[in-house]
Structure formats: C-alpha cells, structure tokens
Amino acid sequence: MLTLLIRIEEGKVERGCIFEEEPREYLNMFFKRDIVDVTKYRKGGFAACVSAKYGCIGKCMFCPCARNNLRLRPPYRVIAEIRNLVRQGFENISFTDDIMNVPVEYARSICKGITDLSDRLTWTGIIWPLPQYFPEDLAGSMKRAGMVAAYVNGHSGSDRMLKIYRSGFSTKDIEYTTRILEDTGIKATPCFVFGGPGECKESIDETFALIDKLQPDSAALFTKIWIVRPSELASIAEKKGIVSPTDDLLAPVHYPFPLRGYVLEEAEKRENCRIVW
C-alpha cells in the first residue's frame, strides 16, 4: 500500500497497477494480504473477504453494474491470495462476487485450486440462479473445495416482479438452484428484494409462498431498494419526481415502498425470515 501511495504521489502508476484495460481482466496485481497484523481478525470466526471478479452478466433494472462487462482476475492469483490467507491462520473465506458460479469453468478452476485446503478452510459465496451456470457437478466441486453455505441471488418469488427487475431468471430457476445446493450439503440462503416498481400484495404473497415451499433454514429479505446511478430504476425515479437529475444520491435514497409494513408482518410470522434492511 505504501508503494502504491508513493507511486500515485509521484505520478508513476503503471498501467495494470490499479486497473487493467483488457476487457476481461480485473485488478491485474497480487494481493499479499499480509501487511497488517491479522490476529484480531481471525478471532470469532471472522471471514476474510476475497474478490475474484468485477461486473455482472445481469441486466437488473436497479443495479449500476448492469452495463458492466465481466472482468476476471486470473484464477491462479485468486488461489494464491486464498492460500496466503490460510497460511496466516484464516479458516473462513467469503467470496464477495455476486455471481460466484459465473463463468462455470472459471469457478471450477478456483475450486480445483483450493480443494486440498478443504480440511483447513470453509467458505461462502453468492450463486446466480440459472441452471446453465450451475450444473450439479459444479455444486459438487464447490462442496469438495470447502463451500459450506451460499446465498442464492433470488430477487423475488414473483415471476412478474422478476420480469420487471429484468433478472433474467425465473422462480423455477431459484427453486432449482436452492435444491441443488441443499442436496449437495451446502446450506442455501435465498435472498429476496421487495419494493420495486409494481410491487403489490399479490407479488409479496408469491415471494413468501416460495419461501414456504423451499423451507430454507434462513431467507434474507431486503425491504428497501437504494436508488443508484446509472440504472433504469434511477431513470424511473427521476421521471416520477422521486429524485432530481441533480441529486448526487451519495446519501441513501430508497424507492418508495408503502407496503414495507406488510412485508415485515409476514416475515414476523416465519422463524426463517431475516430482515437485512
């Protein structure tokens, strides 16, 4: 970090030090992760966060990443970073990527590179729920590599809302992904977002009906959608006068959701529903 700051101050940041212009590569640099005393962070089962990629394949209407190309770190560098964290005594890793399983071969290569650490390492990640990106054998590879829990990026239990969100998958896909994880022995936590344009009691009831059908140990519920730019949701909010084109949106501004209380009431009826915000 000190070297980086000095380079920035002297105007000597080489191409590839902070960013990489090649379209499919992100942060072309090694992360040693050993410049601070990590003792305090290892206590209490703290999970060290690791990022393997930036961007997304999704076109979700509320997300600023919808227009970003997927940029990948070379697998061997991700693997080297994880190995170094294990060497320092970390036993838990959390992949921060919203689509841990995409691309499939990329996910397989990372799993292959850390499978021999599975007796010392457990990890979690977020799964994009499309069958073509989550074949059963990939779930098996993740389990053998030490994956113990996964968040399923579900968005909604209503197919109508999934179309509005432009999620690109269906409730059947969410169900498939959750079942594959559970059958493989990986704890699945489906995540659902409430409050987008068009949300109503019927769509809310459909989401809770899907939760009741899946019966996960835990479902993560998000009852506020942050308006961020650039996104389709931000454009809608501007047209409706919810925000102004000149608003910087640095402080959280949420899309109005008058039925939030109803969601909270339904969640209270279920022990496995956890309100994230």
261 lies in some domain: yes
Q: How many domains does the chain have?
A: 1
Print the domain residue range for 61. 22-275
10 lies in some domain: no
37 lies in some domain: yes
Which pLDDT belongs to residue 83?
92
Q: How do residues 60-71 score in pLDDT, each as one tens digit?
A: 999 887 666 788
Counting beta carbons within 10 angstroms of the beta carbon of residue 13, is it exposed (0 to 12), middle (13 to 18) or buried (19 or more)? middle
- Residue 188 confidence class, pLDDT cut points 50, 70, 90: very high
Q: How do residues 9-29 score in pLDDT, each as one tens digit?
A: 776 655 544 444 444 443 444
Length of the chain, in residues: 277
- CB-CB contact of 214 with 187 (8 Å): no
Q: How do residues 249-270 score in pLDDT, each as one tens digit?
A: 888 899 999 999 999 999 999 9
217 lies in some domain: yes
16 lies in some domain: no
Question: What's the number of CA atoms in the CB half-sphere (13 Å) around residue 131?
Answer: 7
Which pLDDT belongs to residue 64?
84
- The CATH number of residue 239's host domain is 3.20.20.70
7 lies in some domain: no
Chain mean pLDDT for the chain? 88
94 lies in some domain: yes
φ/ψ (deg, to 5) at 210: -70, -40
Residue type, 86: V
> Model pTM?
0.83
Q: How do residues 108-153 score in pLDDT, each as one tens digit?
A: 999 999 999 999 999 999 999 999 999 999 999 999 999 999 999 9
